[in-house]
Amino acid sequence: MPRYRDLTHTARPSDAPRVVDPKNPIRTTDPGALQMLEMIKDKNIETVYDRVVAQQPQCAFGYKGICCRICIAGPCRVKKEDGPGSRGICGASAYTIVSRNIVRMIAGGAASHSEHARHVLHTAHALVDGHADDYEIKSPAKLHKLAEKLGVATLDRGDKDILRDVVEIGYADFGRYQDRPLAFLDSFMTEGRRKKFQHTNIMPRNIDGSITELIAQTAMGVDSDPVNIIFGGLKSALADLGGEYIGTNLSDVLFGIPEPIVSEANLGVINPKMVNIAVHGHNPVLSEMVVAAARAMKEEAVKVGAEGVNIVGICCTGNELLMREGVYLATSSASQEMAILTGALDAMVVDIQCIYPAVQTIAECYHTKVITTEAIMKVPSAQHIAFNTTTAMEDAKKLIKIAIEAYKHRDPKKISIPNEKHKLVAGFSVEALTEIFSKINPERPISVLTDAIQSGQLKGVCLMAGCNNLKRAQDESHITVLKELVKNDVFVISTGCSSGAFAKFGLMSPLAVDTYAGEGLKSFIQTLEAANPQLATGLPLVFHVGSCVDNSRAVDLAVAMANELGVDIPKVPFVASAPEAMHEKAVAIGSWCITMGLPTHVGSLPPVEGSDLVYGITTQIAHDVFGGNFIFEVDPVIGASKLLDALEYRTWKLGIHRQTAEKNDTAIAQGW
Amino acid sequence: MSMEEIYADAIKDPNNQPKKLLRRTYDGTTIAMTYAEILLNRAIKDFGTEQEVGYPDTAYHLPVITCLSGEKVTKLGELVPILNRMRSQIRTELTFENARLWGESTLYAAEVIETINYLRGEEPKVKPWTGFLGDPIVRKHGIKMVDWTIPGVAVILGRAKDSQAAKKIVDNLMGKGFMIFLCDEVIEQLLEVNVKIGEDYIAFPLGNFTQIIHAVNYAFRAGLAFGGIPAGERENHRDYQRRRIRAFVLSLGETDDVKLAASMGAIFMGFPTISDQVLPEDMQIPDWYVSEPDYEKIVPLAMEVRGIKLTNIEIPIPVNFGPAFEGESIRKAETYVEFGGGRSTAFELVQSVGPDEVVDGQVTVIGPEIDTVPEGSRLPLGIRIDIFGRKMQDDFEGVLERRIHYFANYGEGIWHVAQRDLCWVRISKDARAKGFLIKHLGELLLAKLKQEFPAIVDRVQVTLITDQAAVEEGLVKARERYRARDDRMRSLTDESVEDFYSCLLCQSFAPNHVCIVTPERVGLCGAVSWLDAKASFEIAPNGPNQPIPKGPAIDELKGMWQSTNDYLFKASNNTLEEVNLYTLMDKPMTSCGCFEAIMAIVPEANGLMLTTREHSGMTPCGMTFSSLAGTCGGGMQTPGFMGIGRTYLLSKKFIPADGGLSRIVWMPKELKEFLREDFIQRSIDEGLGADFIDKIADESVGTTVEEIIPFLEENGHPCFNLEPLM
């Protein structure tokens, strides 16, 4: 386990309340959302914030993970320290129950991300087979790079041919039965990680099999060894990462590698003069088509009196489009209902994940049409337009038509759009960051970042990711952790609804650098800007690397830094934080972060406290084995200071290992 | 007292067990066992059950397992039943008694995990990290550990409250002469504040996490190597650990379940753990797992709980002092001032004087003190030590003079090599910065001589001369004294003396071993000459060195006397009846475990080979030093094999019954270089010619019989013409 310089920082969380102000329904700090809540104050409209209050106090057994519902002899709860009451009916003790519950969440997360990946893969497959004429290989460069990593021949071959082989490998990764590692995972790792995963037997050979195996492993009457169960869970977590690699990389091939792009965020981007369509969920396959269709159908919108069609994003679909197309980001997950409350949203087109069933209930108070598009994602009484890659553009146009039709039924009395919107710069794929760094050092671009850390200008890198969790007010933890980190010269990259929070608050803009960045970070960003006059914009305080699937980009950066430093990832001053984790996907991501060797702060306690063993493994022993460990801390200020401590720990150790190696004229010690 | 009885008083009320500590220990055991199992079965999948496994440089296989269960594991598959046996001894009920077995299981798990790490080549260690410590290191320091020259062993793991606090603890322990094992961040903390750690300082930075097991497998090997306890005698090994290895564990910083389980492993061996954390009652076991957050009190408490009492005296010098610094070397760039070494005039001399010629306790410096000379200076040096003692004899001068080398090197930042008028001393910049003066070297020598030789040293004065003229004057007198001593030495032969001496020093760990030291056969450790033994007898008349009045020989050639046989029988606890001093083929002298070199026959060449503790490579008899030591150590007579001191090779009484020097067909290069000049002289004296040394094969020729025979034939080695050895 790591022991930090600050002796008050232990593996245990502080005493801060787990649910802040549980009776208060004003559970957001987002200025746009606050304006909406103010607006509906007297209107008897139920939102997510009310439901959080209604759920309090939440079940303490469930919260600690000691409620077992895996078979219908249960539910069983761990009620006592000793004796029959300390075990389930079958004899499963707390550590078995807690570990089974938590790894099943990993399975859920891995299933979600890989479902996303599978959809992108199917689209690419349809494209090479000639059944998806509306799509193209937008980035041959990415395809070639990817092919090279995967060992696919590229010489004298057409792009579609190459893509066909890449897709085959992707499919194989879903269902391989030989004892060979997941190709999309294996090809991106450091040598050290690859070996670590193989030696600890958590290197997955496929995605679907790992998830299925995990469910089988944790069924009633199978595995009761918590350590074995956790290792099984970690295998699925790595399968999740493999799925993310497939998702990100193939999306880049089909839709382009993100580049720095300027846009705006928060509810103020909803334009009263336009037909407004929110695309919500996670997958770019449909929403990219919606964007294209909207451009094509401007005239039809004009015909009904609008100035055009305005696509706005919510959640990670929003992030995907923001990164590649500069589409406005209306809001993030916890405030998704707020977009409908503006009264000017004509349609909400959703794909998968993080979509509250409640959007339909709220939409019923307005003219807004909620339209589901995926076979596995339907909402009673919402419209469903089955989306097919073969007829993608046609389907997208149908959706826009519904919105244009709905526009006619807007009730002007109900329109109330907050005048809250902020400029932002997004689009920082690792390729884009590398390009920016290469203007300073063309041979070894990543050394620009690692040198700044080693010289003390920067304290390290933090990936901020994850959801909203309303145990605290929405976005408060994201914003607080970010401010603490940047003040202390941490280079922050972000994904998902963490990005959403920063964008909505205006923190993803170059303007924020002066106000919030510490001197080191400020000078670092200034140096980058000075070397990159070709960029039409300044650089932001925090670098948006994409949707939650794009957390794989953060791994790419960590791997590149490790290779640059000549060490494995556990020695790289790189940490992760999910201040408001909520989804099963966050459990999967957090778990692979640990195995990748990243200290990972989580601001909302996952259900593991019911077993000291499981808690101890995740927060302490994981560090000894893999180099990463969870830092569970609900107070965002303390959480941030623990992250800074974790960075300091690494820089300190690496520095001493370097000095020692120089003194003794040896290679650098590889321990962490 | 049986091993289990020592825990009896720890838990006063069996209904009130330290539940929290026990539950976490149980959890940690579960984690360790399953982790070991996962790694093991994956490794079997990758390498197969027949894959060879083991640590480098050891003859004891996986020492924890060898010791406790006697299984000499060489293949991966053999670990499966062993690990399963350890899994099945884990009982869920939370009691201290069960917990000790969890601790034992955890030791096995850690040994399995580390074995697989070595198999995988994971985390290769770079200096100063050590990982597994090979047998040569165990042998080098092991005796001092079990005879308590090293007063105790501290195992420190975790991270101290800050680096200075870590340094303070370790400085304190080093000053007391402790052997130290380090694990986790405390290593980086010590490196940060430039504490000298590493193999040379008997402070071993093992690594992280399960690498703590290398402290355990080091300790267990002491029981096998020096205790002569057969592999697998679990209770006897535990008993040996508890009695002879005065170890304790300092657990610094926040702990975790696996560390708790490992600490319980230490408790299973009889070693207590002291934590620097504030712990509630249900996280402590009195005398065994104890909390002491005060850094001033943690070491004294640990020593008290483990029952370590120091006999060392405090010496008024501004640098640390102890065997930890014996191996420290000071490079030129680190040197503040140096003396001798052929670059300036120097000598050292111990002389026996009359009672009125010495002012007891006086240290005099003649010439400039080193604080008056600039950094990088080179000065002449004379070290003259005048001793009066009622029992002092002229013969002891050389014995005590040789101590200058050891005592001087005990000082941190002081480096001494060679002897007499060749002596060479360096004082480091660090030592100077701490205020070290040449006067302090005198204080140090004075204090140690009085402390270690109270029976023969009554009054001592030390004069340190740094004035050129005075050194030259002293040198002339010193050389006279050296000459006289050499003449006396030459007259000392096995024939010319009345008494031989025994040495039973090693019986503390090899109970039946008997060394017989004669003027022409140095003790096999290389450290006890006939004069040393004689002096030692004067110092401690009932001590380990006893005179054996020689009397008439039974066999002059092989070297058998009735007197030595009689002595041997009693001293070997009636297990050995006869011994020949001049042959290794017939009832040779026993070998304890600390011999400098070992000889073995090479029948194909009709000769003998020798290898040394320093040489870790393979040899033509098919065994490394470690394996050889493992086969014939422990106080047994093993014809055809014998442990010896290096310089015995230069003796006229070097196995005369077997043909002497001419039998040697192979030895490591390093030994050749070490002995070269004297060896050539001896070869000429024996009529073997000055080039005999080049006719002896070494590792550059080969390490198998097939490789060396053609070399011996080509070079005309005399071995083939000697009488058949067997």
The H-assigned helical ranges of A129-225 are 140-150, 159-175, 183-186, 191-199, 207-217
E strand or H helix at A246: helix A226-255
Please state the rounded mean pLDDT for residues A130-152.
96
DSSP string, A512-534: HHHHH--HHHHHHHHHHHHH-TT
Rounded Cα distance, A471 and A53, in Å: 9
Flag whether residue B614 sits within 8 Å of chain A, measured between CB atoms: no
Of the candidates A227, A659, A664, the beta carbon closest to that of B31 is on: A227
Indicate yes or no: CB of B185 within 8 angstroms of CB of A624: no
* A592-596, B246-250, B593-597: least confident range: B593-597
Half-sphere exposure of B511 (CA within 13 A, CB side): 10
Compute φ and ψ for B560, nearest 5 degrees: -120, 135
Cβ neighbourhood burial of B277 (10 Å; 0-12, 13-18, 19+): middle
Q: Which of B490, B493, B547, B538 is nearest to B387 (CA)?
A: B538
Q: Which of A345, A411, A341, A469 is nearest to A41 (CA)?
A: A341
Work out the number of other CB atoms within 10 angstroms of the CB of residue A565. Answer: 21
Cβ-defined contact of B254 to A200 (cutoff 8 Å): no
Q: A1–B256: do the CB atoms touch at under 8 Å?
A: yes
Q: CB contact, 8 Å: A613 with chain B?
A: yes
Q: Are B38 and A228 a contacting pair at CB < 8 A?
A: yes
Asked if the model's pLDDT at residue B593 lies above 80, the reply is no
Q: How far is CA B409 from CA B178, B415, B438, B466, in A?
A: 16, 5, 14, 19
Top residue of B25, B33, B35, B194 to mutate, by most chain A CBs within 10 Å, is B35
Contact yes or no for B591/B636 (Cβ under 8 A): yes
Q: Could you read off the pLDDT of B355-403 as tens digits, one per residue?
A: 899 999 999 999 999 999 999 999 999 999 999 988 888 888 888 888 8
Predicted pLDDT of residue B343: 87
Taking chain B, what is the end-to-end CA distance rounded to the nearest angstrom? 48
CB contact (8 A) between residue A226 and residue B43: no
Nearest to A486 by CA among A506, A444, A514, A466: A514
pLDDT per position as a tens digit, B280-299:
999 999 999 999 999 999 99
| Integer Cα distance of A168 and A166 in angstroms | 5
| Per-position DSSP letters for A83-107, written without gaps between them | SGGGB-TT--BHHHHHHHHHHHHHH
A198, A199, A614: best mutation site toward chain B, by most B Cβ within 10 Å? Answer: A199
The predicted structure's pLDDT at residue A92 = 97
Strand B273-275 versus strand B381-388 pairing type: unpaired
Judge whether residue B531 has pLDDT over 90: no
Q: Cβ separation of A656 and B188 shorter than 8 Å? A: yes
Contact by Cβ (8 Å): A2, A646: yes
Average pLDDT of chain B is: 90
- Confidence bin at A652 (pLDDT 50/70/90): very high
Q: Does B128 touch chain A (CB under 8 A)?
A: yes
Q: Is the pLDDT of residue A397 over 70?
A: yes
Within an 8 Å CB–CB cutoff, is residue B346 touching chain A?
Answer: no
Q: How far is A22 from chain B (nearest CA, A)?
A: 32
Residue A411 scores a pLDDT above 80: yes
Chain A hits for B31, CB-CB cut-off 8 Å, are: 227, 613, 616-617, 621
Q: What's the confidence (pLDDT) of residue B583?
A: 93
Task: Report residue A426: phi and psi, to 5°.
Answer: -130, -165
Q: What tokens does B276 get?
A: 């620097």
Crossing angle, helix B213-225 and helix B96-120, to 10 degrees? Answer: 100
Share of chain B above pLDDT 90, in %: 66
A452 or B8, which is more confident:
A452
Q: Is B256 close to A620, i.e. CB distance below 8 A?
A: yes
Closest-CA distance, B679 to chain A, in angstroms, reads: 35
Q: Average the pLDDT over B43-61 and give the result.
A: 93
- Residue B34: which of A5, A7, A225 has the nearest Cβ? A225
| 3-state SS assignment for residue B552 | coil
What gap in Å lies between CA A257 and CA A435, rounded to an integer? 12
Q: CB atoms < 10 A from the CB of A216, how many?
A: 11
pLDDT tier at B508, thresholds 50, 70, 90: low
| Among A96, A93, A62, CA closest to A80 | A93
B209 interfacial to chain A (CB closer than 8 Å): yes
Report which of A558, A455, A464 is spatially closest to residue A505, judged by C-alpha positions: A464
Among residues B247, B249, B245, B271, the alpha carbon closest in space to that of B259 is found at B249
Q: Which two tokens stand for residue A289?
A: 């088509």
| Nearest-by-CA chain A residue for B253 | A3
Statement: residue B338 has pLDDT above 70? yes
B311 pLDDT more than 70: no
Q: Which residues pair with B378 in a beta bridge?
A: B338
Q: Nearest to residue B571, comparing CAs of B593, B541, B544? A: B544
**Residue A264's pLDDT is what?**
98
CB contact under 8 A, A657 and B188: yes
A317 is written with which tokens?
């679909």
pLDDT digits (tens, 9 = 90+) for B695-710: 999 999 999 999 999 9
What is the band of A70 on the pLDDT scale with cuts at 50, 70, 90? very high
Q: Which of A313, A257, A260 has its CA nearest to residue A287?
A: A313
Q: Dihedral of the CA atoms A495, A500, A505, A511 (nearest 10)?
A: 50
Please tell me the pTM assigned to this model.
0.83
Q: Name the residue facing B38 among A201, A657, A661 (closest C-beta).
A: A201
pLDDT of residue B1: 64
d(CA B65, CA B54): 11
Model confidence over B452-465: pLDDT tens digits? 888 888 899 999 99
* Residue pLDDT, tens place only, A221-268: 999 999 999 999 999 999 999 999 999 999 999 999 999 999 999 999
Which residues are B462's β-sheet partners?
A: B363, B385
The answer to whether residue B509 scores a pLDDT higher than 70 is: no
**B35 vs A contacts (CB less than 8 Å):** 227, 625
Q: Does A616 touch chain B (CB under 8 A)?
A: yes
| Cβ–Cβ below 8 Å for B126 and A669 | yes
Cis omega (within 30 of 0) on the bond before B318? no
Best CA proximity match to A550, nearest among A322, A328, A348 = A322
Q: What is the mean pLDDT of residues B228-249?
A: 90
Nearest to A613 among B27, B43, B208 (CB): B27
Instruction: Give the per-residue pLDDT at B543.
Output: 73
- A156-160, B595-599, B711-715: lowest mean pLDDT where? B595-599
pLDDT over 70 at B312, yes or no: no
pLDDT at B664 over 90: yes
A226 touches chain B (CB under 8 A): yes
Cα distance from N-terminal residue to C-terminal residue, chain A: 10
pLDDT at B44 over 80: yes
pLDDT band at A471 (very low <50, low <70, confident <90, very high): very high
Interchain contact B282–A (C-beta under 8 A):
no
Residue range B570-598: average pLDDT?
A: 87
User: Residue B39 is nearest to which of A200, A228, A656, comparing CB atoms?
Assistant: A200
CB B524 within 8 A of CB B585: no
Residues of B in contact with A660 (CB under 8 A): 127-128, 191
Q: Omega before A57 cis (within 30°)?
A: yes
pLDDT, one tens digit per residue, over B98-156 is: 999 999 999 999 999 999 999 998 877 899 999 999 887 887 787 777 777 788 999 99
Size of interface A-B (CB pairs under 8 A): 103
Nearest Cα to B458, choosing from B365, B384, B322, B357?
B357
* Strand residues in B620-687 grouped as ranges (E): 641-644, 664-666
Structure tokens at A601: 């702060």
pLDDT for A414 = 95
- Contact list in B for residue A616 (CB cut-off 8 A) is 24, 27-28, 31, 256-257
DSSP symbol at B411: B
Residue with tokens 């029948």: B603
Separation of alpha carbons A609 and A78, rounded Å:
12
Q: Checking DSSP bridges between strand B515-517 and strand B499-503, what pairing results, if any?
A: antiparallel
Higher local confidence (pLDDT), B199 or B85? B85
Q: Work out the number of other CB atoms within 10 angstroms of the CB of residue B603.
A: 12
